[in-house]
Structure 1
């Protein structure tokens, strides 16, 4: 709980006020997410913010006690070191792949810039969260403010296709800086699903499935909000993003990423072990029927958007075969154009892990797997004894889900609050590995 608080009735209503310049920068950037989207600047702001905060963190570590008091740095935890090493390793792996396949200097420079706007963010934001004095309350309130503005704009967005308004308003000239595609710089009101021609909404994301997982992240942050009104705004907006996006992955994530972090502490309860043993025993009786129902559910899930499922499966199969046969260690250096069979989608996209194998080989695969797995184990272990681990664990589950349907590195520019939370959590565990973090009560004034 922030030190800046006022008492209302029997509750403490937190008034979040940034305590230093980096908190103010983070908080302000979150609160103007929708205006930034309106001018097509989100894809530019994300990497700029990452490198600015990373530079401040490096300067703070270098100056140490000489740094201004409200920006004194913390040490770099093991989890963040792994992110730094892994994401930095992506760069020479990329260079070797380009040299091996003879892509030339121009292509190598473009890919290096792409690394600075993608994989580098996966390390820079955790670094900033771990080293700089940024409180998790700043990120939590900022997400809920985004949710509030999402709810304010929702009537216009939801009514747009029925009022005859266009899908897209304009594409920002900022697309000149380069990016994965023009959709990253385009202001959309909604889009049509090419399979059913039903409207879908993507809010401030470049496409609907990603918007759904951003909605799940918003729900996770909102669960940690102490103020009831802001919590309600975050929960309502996050749920709306999941439902309006009409994403299968988002619906699964709304359950898979929110419930397990709250069940992990039960692993240490004796009664929970008895319940688990009973459920396990009952599976022997109902296993056949359960497996039949599960199989039918998976089939229905896939058939909901059969064309998308087919294209993704084909992309993964081609990427895996070509990685295994042509470039095991360093990959192909970059995605390659796909043919008609995959609707001309690039080979090495739509799946982080198959994409890594194809583009960066086995070395790139482990460069991401090791820090992600370490941070996941750290969050599970901390969640079992401390509620502070629930939010980072939920975020990691979202990252894992995204990695099986998207290329996670090109989405880091919007995932940055979650990535920063991973660094904050690593700092909290390093400084206080046992004690629970409980909100400090602020006594009410008697005047």
Structure 2
């Protein structure tokens, strides 16, 4: 197998952190590693920008900061201001405001920090791609143990790391699991190195997308196999949807944008016009089966979203409630404002926080979509951003940034590539 060797200090830091994902998980340390890495890389990026040509060659900034990075940074700072305003409106106290601000530094703030690092630091695309495949190799090697564990009577929870003392969303972020038991079916599910199974499935989608970019066939097969197994073994409906949409859409998009694509699209449109009622009925049945596959989960999520929306409208439209609130038995005591980024933003941070995330996200989506139409270079970032979009409909994305950092780095790296092409032309 061809070896991809990191060549710069930034690449060495990224490479070592990525390929040691499973050992870090075994220590219950991933939730700590992600934020530390984000702030470290952003600091290095800031120093390289400040010192310019004075700094050593292999740490020099690769170019100016792309405009979208500034938009992301402003948006996440607005998120912090919204958090402070919400806490002040609801008199949540100084202690809680400080804790929430630290949570912002470990969540929302990491989005522009990692994108900045990818856009500025000399990190090559192939390092991230091969690193994900190495994580896939770890996953395949550990698979026999994970599969055998529930049938051999091994405990599902090995231990919870004392690192939970640093604070976080919950003990599951510092816990090491071999498997979990689905309460609805009583069968085992696997969450790998994620805090729960649905998120593990979307991490599997990201692994597949990275593996599709791998040039070496053996590493590609390893990454694809590991990613698909993560999706299947997590038993997540969203993961299956993501595997199809996020891998195919970036590759079909250029066809749609060309004349042949428009001809095919016209044919499809004509067919839909003739057989529209049949397709709608089929779609409704498929959606019903999709929701019925995990009816309890669907009910809880929909109820959480409805309550969050109603309380946002009635209580705090501009700055939100400042934080999630405890849920009742109706939603199995899940916090109001959780399990959905968009409804969660409305509830916790109001219209201000909602717009602070929506504007840079749409801007980034537009850039990667246009580039995916013009060049193969845009396929991976578009697929990854679509995966993040899917994630926002089932998770609070800011809580998961500590594991999404390779995706965010890749999005920043792509901005650098687009920027260099524009400056070169």
How far the C-alpha of 1:97 sits from its partner, in A, is 0.7
Kindly report the root-mean-square deviation, in angstroms, between the aligned alpha carbons of the 2 structures: 1.2
1:210 aligns with 2:199: yes
1:24 aligns with 2:9: no
1:383 aligns with 2:383: no
Equivalent residue pairs, number:
424
**CA separation in 1, counterparts of 2:307 and 2:215?**
48
Please list every run of 5 or more consecutive structure 2 residues that lacks an aligned counterpart in the other structure: none
Quote the residue 1:45 is aligned against. 33
Quote the residue 2:331 is aligned against. 342
**CA separation in 1, counterparts of 2:126 and 2:119?**
14
Q: 1:174 aligns to what SS in structure 2?
A: helix
**CA separation in 2, counterparts of 1:434 and 1:22?**
24
How far the C-alpha of 1:90 sits from its partner, in A, is 1.0
Deviations 1:20-46 (A, max 9, x none): 111000000011000000000000000
Q: Is the 8 A contact 2:256 2:265 kept in 1?
A: no
1:54 aligns with 2:66: no
Quote the residue 1:8 is aligned against. none
**CA separation in 1, counterparts of 2:195 and 2:30?**
10
How far the C-alpha of 1:83 sits from its partner, in A, is 1.0
Please list every run of 5 or more consecutive structure 1 residues that lacks an aligned counterpart in the other structure: 1-12, 437-447
**CA separation in 2, counterparts of 1:53 and 1:337?**
35
Q: How does 1:202-241 map to 2 (within 5 A)?
A: 202-241=191-230
1:373 aligns with 2:362: yes
**CA separation in 2, counterparts of 1:241 and 1:138?**
22
Q: 1:320 aligns to what SS in structure 2?
A: helix
Q: 1:226 aligns to what SS in structure 2?
A: coil
How far the C-alpha of 1:183 sits from its partner, in A, is 0.5
Deviations 1:84-141 (A, max 9, x none): 1111211111111111100111000100010000001111100000011111111000
Q: Is the 8 A contact 1:356 1:364 kept in 2?
A: yes
Q: Find the partner of 1:270 among 259, 263, 268.
A: 259
Tell me whether 219-228 or 282-291 shows the greater mean CA deviation.
282-291
Q: How does 1:121-160 map to 2 (within 5 A)?
A: 121-160=110-149
Tell me whether 290-299 or 259-268 shows the greater mean CA deviation.
259-268
**CA separation in 1, counterparts of 2:423 and 2:296?**
49
Q: Is the 8 A contact 1:14 1:226 kept in 2?
A: no
Quote the residue 2:388 is aligned against. 399
Q: Find the partner of 1:97 among 86, 95, 100.
A: 86
Deviations 1:328-378 (A, max 9, x none): 110000000011111111000000000000000001001100111011000
**CA separation in 2, counterparts of 1:332 and 1:202?**
31
Q: Is the 8 A contact 2:337 2:347 kept in 1?
A: yes
Quote the residue 2:185 is aligned against. 196
How far the C-alpha of 1:269 sits from its partner, in A, is 2.2
Q: Is the 8 A contact 1:71 1:132 kept in 2?
A: yes
Q: 1:331 aligns to what SS in structure 2?
A: coil
1:253 aligns with 2:242: yes
Quote the residue 1:306 is aligned against. 295
Q: 2:155 aligns to what SS in structure 1?
A: coil
Q: Find the partner of 2:171 among 173, 176, 182.
A: 182
**CA separation in 2, counterparts of 1:254 and 1:397?**
10
**CA separation in 2, counterparts of 1:363 and 1:427?**
29
How far the C-alpha of 1:81 sits from its partner, in A, is 1.2
Quote the residue 1:63 is aligned against. 51
**CA separation in 1, counterparts of 2:382 and 2:68?**
14
1:356 aligns with 2:345: yes
Q: 1:91 aligns to what SS in structure 2?
A: helix
**CA separation in 1, counterparts of 2:423 and 2:189?**
45
Tell me whether 42-51 or 259-268 shows the greater mean CA deviation.
259-268
Instruction: Find runs of 4+ consecutive structure 1 residues off by over 6 angstroms.
Output: none
Quote the residue 2:153 is aligned against. 164
